[in-house]
Amino acid sequence: MTLRLYDTRAQQLRDFVPLDPENITMYVCGPTVQSGPHIGHVRAALSFDLLRRWLTHRFGRVTFVRNVTDIDDKVLVNATDVEPWWALAYRMEQEFTEAYAGVGILPPTYEPRATASVPQMQELIATLIDRGHAYPAPDGSGDVYFDVRSWPAYGSLTNQSVDAMEAAEDADPRGKRNPQDFALWKGAKADEQADATWRSPWGPGRPGWHIECSAMSKRYLGAEFDIHGGGLDLRFPHHENELAQSTAAGDGFARYWVHNGLVTVGGQKMSKSLGNFTLASDVLSERDPQVVRYALAAAHYRSSLDLSESSWAEAEAALGRIRTFVERTERMLPQTFGWGDRAPLPEAFAAAMDDDLGIPQALGVLHDTVRAGNAALDADDIEGAAAARSEVLAMLDVLGFDRVSGASTGDAQSSALDALVQTMITQRAQARADKDWAAADRIRDAIAAAGITLEDTPAGTHWSIDG
């Protein structure tokens, strides 16, 4: 089956035909590191981690670029005398990296910082001026603007006309020809940090936000690449402006535009500006990171995800069922069946992933295989159970759940629970040995009342949480 992706610009599903099938090229807008990540940032990064993993499975090699915006109005505003802007940006970048790694998001092939590509940004701005699509402000401010009315295709990503757009608010409007013109270069301001400026042909200053991604994507992937990704909230103005300035400069730019849906709280976008966010560090300190990964991945990447306590509970139960099956096979299958092997992916799983990264449907196939594997174990069908295990492990690998088997969380609560249950199992075994059946039944009933299932096998008694 052909991989199909929803292209935001085309507003339809399209067959994915890469420029080079031996090297898929992908650029995703990374964080602006003015403060730490909330769980919505992690969901966005995870969406493209899953796409990247599937592209790697299908094609073999993916060059994946995710930038860091380390110079921006918000970074400068949040800096202090004690912590300069560049130190703040670096500290926050580390927090994002830690949160991403916590849920198993792979590091990018390249992760450029905006401040390392300023010469490339200036080169792109100069090209736009030479082509008649940008102009230095006539007020001596040092600002340079993109002239949106010079580019008839402006608005094509979001299907808007220039006249219907709101004015760009990224710079003082006094030097603009049109209210919608946006800043490519921002002249130095007297009230901003002196070390946050670079020399340029238009005077000292710093790059505008939009030019950063155009310059970095070209530097690391070339003038044309396969996929540009980012959150749905970046379509306008950020991605619209990127598309306009890059194509106006003569570059092919992104062939497919892929956007993930947002995390919402009570139906409202989770946002730092709205103050309704949950820090990723808080979530990851309270929950098993693999459960967090499951909860964030379970909805289709283009849909909104409204997180609640039930979201975490459902994810924990679902992942628990998978873990229980994997652990059962580790105990019950002979080593001769090669239970560490990975089988080819089930056709239904691959078809779901090829259909615009249908993770919910793919997880359905995964759980169907788990149920079939458990049934095979119950029926002493060793070959059937081994085949199911191999398929489950193959699917888990593709989805990035690489820490499912074995000790599930390794935290203090899990260790304490295991110690308590093992003590009760030992007491029950002693009662049975003493033929004190009433005591054995009481212990069994107490364990069952706590939602724990016991499984007596020749190798001993094992427990799992009902789910």
Report, as an integer, the average pLDDT of 276-301.
Answer: 93
Question: Is 70 exceeded by the pLDDT of residue 411?
Answer: no
Report, as an integer, the average pLDDT of 344-352.
Answer: 97
- Which two tokens mark 328? 């059962």
CA 271/CA 277 separation, integer angstroms: 6
Structure confidence by residue, pLDDT tens digits, 129-154: 999 999 999 999 999 999 999 999 99
Residue 124 pLDDT class (50, 70, 90 cuts): very high
pLDDT score recorded for residue 340: 56
Structure confidence by residue, pLDDT tens digits, 148-187: 999 999 999 999 999 999 999 888 888 999 999 999 999 9
Helices and strands per DSSP (H, E), number in the chain: 14, 15
pLDDT score recorded for residue 244: 98
pLDDT score recorded for residue 323: 95
Minimum mean pLDDT among 97-101, 363-367, 455-459: which range?
Answer: 455-459
Residue 381 pLDDT class (50, 70, 90 cuts): very high
Contact 310, 355 (CB under 8 A): no
Question: Is 50 exceeded by the pLDDT of residue 407?
Answer: no
pLDDT score recorded for residue 454: 78
- Mean pLDDT for the chain overall: 91
Structure confidence by residue, pLDDT tens digits, 176-227: 999 999 999 999 999 999 999 999 999 999 999 999 999 999 999 999 999 9
Higher local confidence (pLDDT), 431 or 46: 46
Residue 298 pLDDT class (50, 70, 90 cuts): very high
Strand 224-231 with 253-260, pairing: parallel
CA 134/CA 126 separation, integer angstroms: 8
Report, as an integer, the average pLDDT of 283-304.
Answer: 96
Structure confidence by residue, pLDDT tens digits, 71-113: 999 999 999 999 999 999 999 999 999 999 999 999 999 999 9
pLDDT score recorded for residue 332: 83
pLDDT score recorded for residue 416: 60
